Amino acid sequence: MRDLCVNKGLHGSHVTFMDVHEERLSMISRLAERLSGELNAGLSFTTTTDRQAALKGADFVINTALDGGHDWAEEQRGIAEKHGYYRGTALPALAQIAFFLEVARDIERICPNAWLIESANPVFEGCTAMSRQTNVKLIGLCHGHHGVNTIAKVLGLEPKHVTAKMPGFNHWIWLTEFLYKGENAYPLLDEWIETKAQEFWTNDDRSPFDNQMRRAAIHQYQLFGLMPIGDTPRAGGWWYHTDLATKQRWYGPDGGFDSEIGWAKYLVRCEQKVRQIEQAALDQSKPITDTFPAKRGGEQIVPIINSLVNNVPGTYQVNIPNKGPLLPGFPENLVVECQATVDGSGMHGNPVPALPRKLMVGAMIPRWQQAELIVEAACSGDPDIALIYLLRDHRTRGLEQAEGLLNEWLAHPRNTRVAQIFTTRK
């Protein structure tokens, strides 16, 4: 909302907020009205708990929803851990993709010319499924590519002189081009690793949410030959995540974003941010802009909308189908992350050279195969595909273990969306 208010090219727009929680709707609507008023943006607002009503007349649909919220996500993690899968599995992605497909099919029917901007995870598998099953105009967005700014900061580089290309899959992108003032900056990274990295890790008191320069990221770089960016170090290989002690070795004292320590801190931070927004919305004694200063944030959503609406050319990091292909070595019906030029004529992906063979066979192809299992399971409704996904998991010690998790997960009352497309395996 703040980004809309500071973008004069989009002043006067109408925004519909949709949520299943009426109190949240009331709170965010109040905040938005006050923010628009303070910044003279002339925005108007509607709130609704009816998704189909929200879509009527839409030019852009922004999906940021986690179906069931963090409580359900944590419950699903607990079910998986009971069956021996530490920190959970990707099974919850199946329900999330089923939700994405419902939204996309509603868009096809109600506002077929709208752009769908998908910012809820899983962007990679979810956007691939929607692009294969529907005809919506689709853009997947993430902010992991900002990880290159962390590298620049640690190396002491001025961000304005850094240029980079980071293609791949969402949460699985790699620094194929890294220039500083037009010169290859990889030698600067190598020098830092050689002379400063150990001290950096020894005195590591950074947030668990910052994994860009942790030991795991550097090990991935040394293993595959290119620096992983953003959320890629988080994911990495299973060997960084076998237990908490292993996570702490590779990601610092808290074990990184996805450990039981780091994730608990993330959930607390989410609650704190909600409380901050509520307080700002309701406190009439001070301007909203005291909490949300009148300057553009780091997200790409509003700038992309502005480029499309007002024909303002811009280059963005996006997730779109691999038409061309944009990233050689993968099918055109797979969504890839790359740079794209956006203007009034639409979105135009910028092709990149093929990735190094070692990276392809060691990291990219295995990640693609995992995604294909999740997408196929969600789109086909075949529970055997979900079972095969679990059987390929390194933590699976036998067929009964995988079947036990899948059956309990599918039978859960909150999994009605998946139950409609799956038949519980007996």
Residue 313 phi/psi, 5° resolution? -60, 140
Return d(Cα 67, Cα 46) in angstroms, integer. Answer: 22
- What are the angstrom distances between the C-alpha of 414 and each of 73, 92, 109, 405, 409? 11, 11, 27, 15, 9
Given a contact cutoff of 8 angstroms between Cβ atoms, the answer to whether 252 and 204 are in contact is yes
> Residue 399 burial (CB < 10 Å; 0-12/13-18/19+)?
exposed
Encode 199-210: b = buried (16+ Cβ within 10 Å), e = exposed: ebeeeeebebeb
Residue 169 phi/psi, 5° resolution? -115, 155
Encode 7-36: b = buried (16+ Cβ within 10 Å), e = exposed: beebeebebbbbbeeeeebebbbbbbbbbb
ω into 92 cis (within 30 of 0): no
Confirm whether 190 is a catalytic residue.
no
- What are the angstrom distances between the C-alpha of 81 and each of 119, 236, 294, 338? 27, 20, 44, 35
Confirm whether 14 is a catalytic residue.
no
Return d(Cα 415, Cα 262) in angstroms, integer. Answer: 27
One of 143, 146, 219, 348 is an active-site residue; which one?
Answer: 143
Return d(Cα 404, Cα 425) in angstroms, integer. Answer: 9
- Identify the bridge partners of residue 68 per DSSP, sorted by sequence position: none
One of 3, 231, 254, 258 is an active-site residue; which one?
Answer: 231
Q: At how many degrees (to 10) do helices 365-380 and 383-391 cross?
A: 150
Q: Is 142 left (phi over 0), alpha (psi -120 to 50) or beta?
A: beta
Return d(Cα 379, Cα 383) in angstroms, integer. Answer: 11
Return d(Cα 109, Cα 40) in angstroms, integer. Answer: 35
- What are the angstrom distances between the C-alpha of 185 and each of 16, 152, 214, 227, 300? 45, 10, 19, 12, 25
Catalytic residue IDs: 143, 231
